[in-house]
Structure 1
Amino acid sequence: MRRLVAAALVPLALLASACGGAGGDGQSFDDNSLVIYSGRNKNLVGPLIDKLRTATGLDVQVRYGDSAELAAQILEEGADTRADVFFSQDAGALGALSKHQMLAPAPQELLDRVAARYRSSEGTWVGVSGRSRVIVYDPRTVVAPPKSVFELTDPKWKDKVGWSPTNASFQSFVTALRVVAGEDKARQWLEAMKANGAKSYPNNVEILNAVDDGKLQLGLINHYYWYEKVAENGPNGVPSRLAYLPGGDPGALVNVAGVGMLKGTEHGEAAKKAMDYLLGADAQKYFADTTKEYPLIAGVPTAPGLPPFDSLKGPEVDLSKLDSLEQTITMLQDVGLV
């Protein structure tokens, strides 16, 4: 097991180092606290964590960071990790930890609240909110947006597309691309995009802003960033538009943010209570109303204006098979993108 974890850690640790380190912030935690390692941005879910504290009475402390970096941190810490719960931006990082037996089985009652396709097939993690990959485009310069990510390598889009190779949701998309289209085609697409002048940004927000500012014509992002900006600025304050890709295109991946409980945690009951809250109506309504993601439990409506969740035409891929995050990062490194 130690050899497996060490082998898995290499590409993740390299990425963490390239991005400034995984959790090397000197943060310490009280032994009596429930510790959540969150790959979700503090600005996005910090208010939800505050609501969790109030609703459950738990003493919750949080380490925020990139999902891949935090997965590397947990692998490096091993049995000595202070993480009790891993709250990941995507299924891939959760799957990577599950594959290396770092996550404990979740209570079946919690798993049953979410459709099987949005949770681990082994029962070690469960999705708490859904999102779709989309193409954001500038209608002032783009009459007809592409209908597939494979069209983005066309010379007419040279130097006009933004992406975020270090972002967890992009890395999960590339993992899905590898699973759906095969290793060779995924590598060829990355190389062709790089040769076509795709511009790298640190996150989805900066890609969206670049399109709105006329610096890009197209960008690869998650849907909810656009809807959050529209909610803040009004529809007339956001010039860009979204294209949902049809026909099961890999660029239309429907992924989840999710949670898993660390194996060996000394705060198992508190961890279950936190997971129960995230899969309850209050938190699910927060995802729908505040972050503009899709709630995953029954009875909580989607935010107005979003396409119905069951209308999204993402590729048929088992999210548990996005656990090969290490291979994706190695491919991105080989192509020179991280």
Structure 2
Amino acid sequence: MNRRRRLPLLVSALTAAAVLALTGCGDGSTVVDKTEGADLVIYSGRNETLVKGLLDDLAKETGVKVGVRYATSAELAAQLLEEGDGTQADLFFSQDAGALGALAAAGRLDPLDASVVGKVQDGFADKSNRWVGTSARARVIAYDPRKAPEVEQMTTIDAVLDPKYKGRVGFAPTNASWQAFVTTLRVTRGEDQAKAWLEKFKANEPKAYDNNIVALDGVEKGEVALALINHYYWYERVAEKGAAAVTSKLHFLHGDDPGALINVAGVGILKGTDQKAAALKAVEYLLGPKAQAYFASKTFEYPVVEGAEVPSDLPPLKELDGLALDLNRLESLDKTLELLDEVGLS
């Protein structure tokens, strides 16, 4: 399908996701607009509580007056597609590669200099330099070792479909990380197998949570035995409460399993911006040592720049043996949202 024909479908699917995110209160689903009077406007699909300090530092370090609109990545991608050349946004800061890919596929992102993209490790940027990852995160299973000790032996995400987990699995249906996982199912196994997986998952009556934080809460409170989340939510919990106060554990899947996805948060400069120099400064800051250290120490994500220090309690990224997937393939977010709506998991 060519770009002109696909654009209305992208807008429709992403707008539908945005409405669902707002009604479901997914991560970042409360729209917060702090863009008035700004020189550089950032649309951030990353939660304000996670990145406000970082973006405040960015403004101080670069001398650029920054304004931010916070919402879900899907909602902001839909808004950017609808606004087109008339958008006020200069930079899109996405929670995952899928929303960035959707905008890139629609021709809404300006290519970055190869020298900028070249700072990150292989696989964490668009092959055409339209977006670049800023931090990486692993898909994991958080579980209660008292209720489901066998989770640590799981070798595939298919194991959560076992009838013994009926009503015992938590997930965050409006979150970008869940949507990226479903896209991974689609592009690695095909549409039919992905649909079959989701239908089995739904039949197992998973418990839907507003976001990954409360999904992890569900494990901690004994509401569910396990939850499908990103790794950093658990590490944030341990840092906040102390290891002794956290009962759940994490299990990482490996190899070619869709549950072993390693995704990125990332940024792209909007086509047509009149603040390209300032936007580029922002991108360079996010890839610089202070921001990479922030991601490692404050949000417990993996830095994507070679040589950046990783917290000692995180398993090294290279040792995770994650799914070898070209993140550009996650751009078909619209098809994922349509599939989730079709099976009743949106």
Assess same fold via TM > 0.5: yes
In 2, Cα distance between the equivalents of 1:65 and 1:27?
A: 9
SS of aligned partner of 2:61? helix
Q: Where does residue 331 of structure 2 map in the other structure?
A: 323
TM-score w.r.t. structure 2 length?
A: 0.94
SS of aligned partner of 1:62? strand
SS of aligned partner of 1:232? helix
1:130 aligns with 2:132: no
1:154 aligns with 2:156: no
> Unaligned regions of 5+ residues in structure 1, if any?
none
Report the AA paired with residue 37 of structure 1: Y
Q: Where does residue 17 of structure 1 map in the other structure?
A: 19
SS of aligned partner of 2:56? helix
Q: Where does residue 41 of structure 2 map in the other structure?
A: 35
In 1, Cα distance between the equivalents of 2:305 and 2:86?
A: 33
Q: Where does residue 90 of structure 1 map in the other structure?
A: 96
SS of aligned partner of 1:144? helix
Q: Where does residue 309 of structure 1 map in the other structure?
A: 317
TM-score w.r.t. structure 1 length?
A: 0.96
In 2, Cα distance between the equivalents of 1:283 and 1:247?
A: 29
In 2, Cα distance between the equivalents of 1:220 and 1:20?
A: 21
In 1, Cα distance between the equivalents of 2:29 and 2:246?
A: 35
Alignment of 1:1-338 (within 5 A): 3-20=5-22, 27=33, 29-30=35-36, 33-145=39-151, 146-338=154-346
In 1, Cα distance between the equivalents of 2:146 and 2:84?
A: 51
Report the AA paired with residue 113 of structure 2: P
In 2, Cα distance between the equivalents of 1:24 and 1:209?
A: 20
Which is further off, 209-218 or 242-251? Answer: 242-251
1:246–1:252: 8 Å Cα contact kept in structure 2?
yes
In 1, Cα distance between the equivalents of 2:5 and 2:15?
A: 15
How has the CA–CA distance of structure 1 residues 20 and 38 changed in structure 2, closer, same or farther, with 3 Å as cutoff?
same
1:23–1:73: 8 Å Cα contact kept in structure 2?
no
> Unaligned regions of 5+ residues in structure 2, if any?
none
SS of aligned partner of 2:129? coil
**RMSD over equivalenced CA pairs, Å:** 1.7
In 2, Cα distance between the equivalents of 1:157 and 1:285?
A: 38
In 1, Cα distance between the equivalents of 2:141 and 2:324?
A: 19
In 1, Cα distance between the equivalents of 2:158 and 2:136?
A: 24
In 1, Cα distance between the equivalents of 2:244 and 2:137?
A: 24
SS of aligned partner of 1:130? strand
Distance apart, 1:23 and its partner CA? 9.1
Distance apart, 1:109 and its partner CA? 1.4
What is the total number of aligned residue pairs between the two structures?
A: 338
In 2, Cα distance between the equivalents of 1:329 and 1:149?
A: 20
1:138–1:241: 8 Å Cα contact kept in structure 2?
yes
In 2, Cα distance between the equivalents of 1:88 and 1:222?
A: 15
Distance apart, 1:277 and its partner CA? 0.2
Distance apart, 1:20 and its partner CA? 3.0
1:180–1:315: 8 Å Cα contact kept in structure 2?
no
Report the AA paired with residue 327 of structure 2: L
Which is further off, 43-52 or 4-13? Answer: 4-13
Distance apart, 1:182 and its partner CA? 1.1
How has the CA–CA distance of structure 1 residues 233 and 262 changed in structure 2, closer, same or farther, with 3 Å as cutoff?
same
2:135–2:266: 8 Å Cα contact kept in structure 1?
yes
* Percent of pairs with identical residues: 49
Report the AA paired with residue 212 of structure 2: N
SS of aligned partner of 1:292? coil
In 2, Cα distance between the equivalents of 1:24 and 1:141?
A: 34
1:92–1:323: 8 Å Cα contact kept in structure 2?
yes
SS of aligned partner of 1:306? coil
How has the CA–CA distance of structure 1 residues 32 and 132 changed in structure 2, closer, same or farther, with 3 Å as cutoff?
closer
SS of aligned partner of 1:117? coil
Distance apart, 1:313 and its partner CA? 2.1
- CA deviation digits over 1:264-294, x for unaligned, max 9? 0010000000000000000000000110000
How has the CA–CA distance of structure 1 residues 309 and 23 changed in structure 2, closer, same or farther, with 3 Å as cutoff?
closer
Distance apart, 1:24 and its partner CA? 9.7
In 2, Cα distance between the equivalents of 1:23 and 1:35?
A: 19
1:23–1:70: 8 Å Cα contact kept in structure 2?
no
Distance apart, 1:10 and its partner CA? 1.0
